[in-house]
Structure 1
Amino acid sequence: MIRFLLSASVALLMGCSSTKKDSETVLFAGEIVNPTSDQVILLKGGVKVDSAKIDNNNRFEFKLSSIENGLYHFNLAPEHQYVYLEKGDSLMVRLNTIYFDESLVFSGTNEETNNFLLELFLATEEEDSAMYSEYYELEPLDFADKIQSLRQDKVATLNELNSENLISEEAIKLLTGSIDYTYNRYKEIYPFQHKRKTAEENLHDLPKDFYSYRSQIDYGDHTLTYLRPYYDFMKAHFGNLSYMSCKNECKNAHEDESKQLHYKKHKLHLIDSLVIEKELRDNLFRNVAFDYLLKKKDAPENTEIFLTEFKKVSKNNMHIEEIENLYQGIANLQPAKVIPDLKVMTFNNENKTLTEIAANKKVLFYFWSGTNKKQYLEIFKRVSILKEKKPDHELIGINIKTDYDQWKTIISTLGVDPSSQYHSNDFKELTEKLVLYPMNKAIITENAVIVDGFSNIYKN
């Protein structure tokens, strides 16, 4: 009912929600309640298409004279979401940033495609939780039946929309892909999660047709490259393939190098042999590199071997600079190094560097974002405990991905001491140089020298 009322209000803002397309020009406009940025950025894949200012009435508007039909993202920092656009579209969006995805609603041409794509996104968030809490414990046949039931519900809704001829063939392909790859991903993950949940000694035997969908996988579909369910499926799929093939074929082949390095090299070569589409290849190779560099620290000589192998199979990778920066960031956060001299802003709008803040004392730096209220409330709860556990350390919070004024409001509302809080406007630089993966990370220093560059605020 709430989404229906929102749709009606959006239709009024549009003047009408006609599906007639009079020209190839695309109008994409909207109203943002509680905007967190002064502009909306439209992207196709990782490339910026255009930007639009948000006016005094919280409205924005794109007029695009020549675009490719397909999936786009609109970014309202720090959030983003899909939008599907076709030539001739006149599409309106309305949202409230406080409840970003839940409040978002489309009206106009292609409203059916966009609202259904959003509903799939929201449903997946709910179903992910149920998978981990109960479904992965099911036996294989019961799990497969559950997955098929959930999938059929979405397919039935899509067929109903399609029967009214409201959705183009291109959009049907996108939405079908979103459904299929979402549920096939759960199957790729199932054997590992089932073993973990049931504490079985070995991976469970699966029915012969459990992965029957694999014969239909398209490893080179450009239209799906930036569709999250497609990409997430590919990550899970190659994780599964790498583990199983290595388990069955490699035996003791890793004896001359670490298991971690051997496994990641195996994964790189599988991606190289199967994936055709350049951007998908680059993104999957990036994922392997980040996973290797961040999750388990390997010997320096093994890391060098990995990077050499990575560059060999992933020539001209569009993420190579980011990966090399990550590698350098990890090197710069080793014990006995001075903490990077990055600038942050005080509550009183003054610049300070991390080395200044950390000088002549013991400091535990932690990080939080105003975009995730649950996360930062938990962080501050943990900080209050750490103040008692580490009375000899000063606990310093660094805020990221939050508007400066919004950050100050959060600090004031929570009654947090502003002298222990700093704000960064350069998320990219901070992330790369401090290697902020995951967000629970903490950095411990003494006299501005790193003691532990990869600590965790919940493990101190």
Structure 2
Amino acid sequence: MERALLYLTFCFLASCAHKPDTGNTVYFAGEIVNPTSDYVVLYKNDVVVDSAKLDTSNRFSFSLENIEEGLHHFDHTPELQYVYLEKGDSLIIRLNTLAFDESLVFSGSNEEVNNFLLEMFLNYEDEEQLVYSYYALDPEKFSGKIDSLRLQKLEELNTLNIDKTISKGAFDMAKASIDYNSYIYKEKYPFIHKKKSGEETIHRLDSSFYDYRKNLNINLKELTYFRPYYNYVNNRFGNLSYMVCAQNCGMEKKMSSKDHLHLNQHKMHLIDSLVKEEYLRNNLFRNVAMDYLLKVHEVNNECNQFIDKFKELSENEAHIAEINHLYNGIKALQPKESIPDLAILSVEGDTVHMKDISKNNHTVFYFWTGDQKRHFRNVLRHVKKLEKQHPEYLYVGINLRTSEDKWLSMLNEQAIDKKLQYRSFDFGEIQESLIINNLSKCVITKDTVIVDAFANVFTRNPFVGQQKTLTAK
């Protein structure tokens, strides 16, 4: 209902909007409720096109001459979303950062394709749980279910194209959002099916299961920065490298550090052999290096050799610097190193340092954000169990990026000790310093000294300095 009302409101606004030029000029404007930044930044791929400052009414506008047509994205830190622009467009948006994607509505020229792309994005998020239940099915039934979901979306797109004629480029982009999200499910199937079915080895698949691959190009420059396409290509290479290694390299059933190294070396070789598009190629190399370092997070000769190979293949100096920085960060978080002395805020608004909290204590630092309430409830429930099993530890929650009002409101809804809850000053600083790449991570210290900076609060037992299964169930 809210989205419908917003849509009607902006249909009216769009009808009143002034289109500066019927030729090449693009007018892109809007209003942001509860802004989290002073600016909106428009990108084409990874290049900034322009930026606009919000006015006193939290509105912004761009007037753009001779831009490259196609998919762009706009950034309102820390969120971003896609926008499809063509010459002569006059497009208006409205959104509320408290529900960034869910509240976003496009009005004006090309509103149809932009709202459709947004709906496909939200639909993909909504249907993940349903699709996850399908992974236990045999390959033929699973494929049938996914194909059925895809056909339903294609029917919606074809209906849209009949009712509101859109350009071929816009139609192709909308179709890509359907196709690649569907094919991601199939690339993931062998691995999730193995986990759900309890089978010891990857289920044998008929060659027809991957028939869709025959007509897909993995060197499309125009889709390099489109999330569904990039995620599909990345999953496809992960699938291919694992299958080849499982058949030819004696891959162990349970992945070890050596297996991760071998698998990612093989994945880099496949990318080097098959991907010629420069930006996609470099982004994939970066992803392989990030994935390896964040999974293994060790410091040894094998890691050094892997990074040397990455540097040899990558042609992106910014990516090379980023990987070097990450590896140096991992080195600083090894056991027996001192925990970074980061400043955080207490519920009283006082500045406290993590070193001061952990001094003379055995401490578990865990993390959460206000936009993932389910995770927050789950981690609190699990921490309460751990407190009973291991009362010798201090359990400290750190919120990463939530407004103060929302943070305090969420704390008030829970029966927890607020004296052990803090909020980060700077999300980027704490994420980078502690290398927080997922919210299951926790950092364990003993009197300011790191015991395990890469523990998982749900699946590992850092309390004895070893990676074992936690006892809380």
TM-score (norm 1): 0.90
Counterpart in 1 of 2:465? none
Counterpart in 1 of 2:397? 397
Please give the alpha-carbon distance, in whole angstroms, between the structure 1 residues aligned to 2:40 and 2:299: 43
Q: Which letter does structure 1 place at the counterpart of 2:24? A: E
Question: Share of identical aligned residues, percent?
Answer: 48
Please give the alpha-carbon distance, in whole angstroms, between the structure 2 residues aligned to 1:348 and 1:63: 45
CA deviation string 1:16-46 (max 9, x = no partner) = 4899971322222222233333333323333
Counterpart in 2 of 1:353? 353
Alpha carbons 1:17, 1:107 under 8 Å: kept? no
Counterpart in 2 of 1:307? 307
1:211 partner SS: helix
1:73 partner SS: strand
1:121 partner SS: helix
| More off after superposition, 280-289 vs 37-46 | 37-46
2:193 aligned with 1:194: yes
Alpha carbons 2:73, 2:83 under 8 Å: kept? yes
After superposing on structure 2, the runs of 4+ consecutive aligned residues of structure 1 that deviate more than 6 Å are 17-21
Change (3 A) 1:34 1:381: farther
Change (3 A) 1:381 1:89: same
Change (3 A) 1:201 1:457: closer
1:373-412 matches, cutoff 5 A: 373-404=373-404, 406-411=406-411
How far off is 1:238 after superposition? 0.4
Please give the alpha-carbon distance, in whole angstroms, between the structure 2 residues aligned to 1:288 and 1:238: 10
Structure 1: gaps of 5 or more residues? none
Counterpart in 2 of 1:447? 447
How far off is 1:251 after superposition? 4.6
Q: Which letter does structure 1 place at the counterpart of 2:211? A: S
Change (3 A) 1:139 1:378: closer
Counterpart in 2 of 1:236? 235
Q: Which letter does structure 2 place at the counterpart of 1:204? A: H
Counterpart in 2 of 1:260? 260
Q: Which letter does structure 1 place at the counterpart of 2:119? A: E
Counterpart in 2 of 1:168? 167
How far off is 1:278 after superposition? 2.1
Change (3 A) 1:19 1:172: farther
1:319 partner SS: helix
Counterpart in 1 of 2:219? 220
Please give the alpha-carbon distance, in whole angstroms, between the structure 2 residues aligned to 1:248 and 1:317: 35
Please give the alpha-carbon distance, in whole angstroms, between the structure 2 residues aligned to 1:68 and 1:185: 28
- The higher relative CO (CA closer than 8 Å, separation ≥ 6) is in 1
2:318 partner SS: coil
Please give the alpha-carbon distance, in whole angstroms, between the structure 1 residues aligned to 2:203 and 2:246: 14
CA deviation string 1:39-91 (max 9, x = no partner) = 33323333333333333433222222342212222223332221112222111
| More off after superposition, 347-356 vs 115-124 | 347-356
Please give the alpha-carbon distance, in whole angstroms, between the structure 1 residues aligned to 2:426 and 2:162: 48
Change (3 A) 1:36 1:398: same
Counterpart in 1 of 2:292? 292
Please give the alpha-carbon distance, in whole angstroms, between the structure 2 residues aligned to 1:19 and 1:213: 42
Counterpart in 2 of 1:48? 48
Q: Which letter does structure 2 place at the counterpart of 1:301? A: N
Structure 2: gaps of 5 or more residues? 462-473
Q: Which letter does structure 2 place at the counterpart of 1:45? A: N
Alpha carbons 1:269, 1:313 under 8 Å: kept? no
How far off is 1:239 after superposition? 0.9
2:79 aligned with 1:79: yes
CA deviation string 1:289-335 (max 9, x = no partner) = 12211223557121112111111222335322222222112211111
TM-score (norm 2): 0.88
How many residue pairs match? The answer is 456
Change (3 A) 1:401 1:166: farther
Alpha carbons 2:298, 2:330 under 8 Å: kept? no
1:288 partner SS: helix
Counterpart in 1 of 2:91? 91
Change (3 A) 1:267 1:418: same
CA RMSD of aligned residues (A): 2.7
Counterpart in 1 of 2:137? 138
